[in-house]
Amino acid sequence: MSTRVEKELDTSGLNCPLPILRLKQALRGMDSGQRLRMIATDPGSQSDVAAFAAQTGHRLIESHAEGDTFYYLVEKA
């Protein structure tokens, strides 16, 4: 079964705070309930994305790492 994703955001090579700023901007243009998959290489994104979701009411559905690359699935509130 594939996971529904309406938008992808690649923030590879960007360091804090740029991945979160790009995530915030991307979600702004989406409808409630839509999902965004984000790719990041900044290790700080692991705590930043979780904190951002908790503070803004968005839902962090999935978070995992493959080597030095981090993947997130966020659903817009």
Specify the CATH number for the domain of residue 32.
3.30.110.40
Domain count, the chain: 1
The pLDDT-based confidence of 3 (bands split at 50, 70, 90) is: confident
Q: Residues 75, 65: contact at Cβ < 8 Å?
A: no
For the stretch 26-67, pLDDT in tens is: 999 999 999 999 999 999 999 999 999 999 999 999 999 999
In a domain, residue 12? The reply is yes
Residue 2 has a pLDDT of 65
Asked about 16 being catalytic, the answer comes back as yes
In a domain, residue 46? The reply is yes
Distance CA 61, CA 73 (A): 5
> Could you say which of 9, 10, 14, 16 is catalytic?
16
In a domain, residue 1? The reply is no
Q: What is the pTM of this model?
A: 0.94
In a domain, residue 65? The reply is yes
Residue 75 has a pLDDT of 97
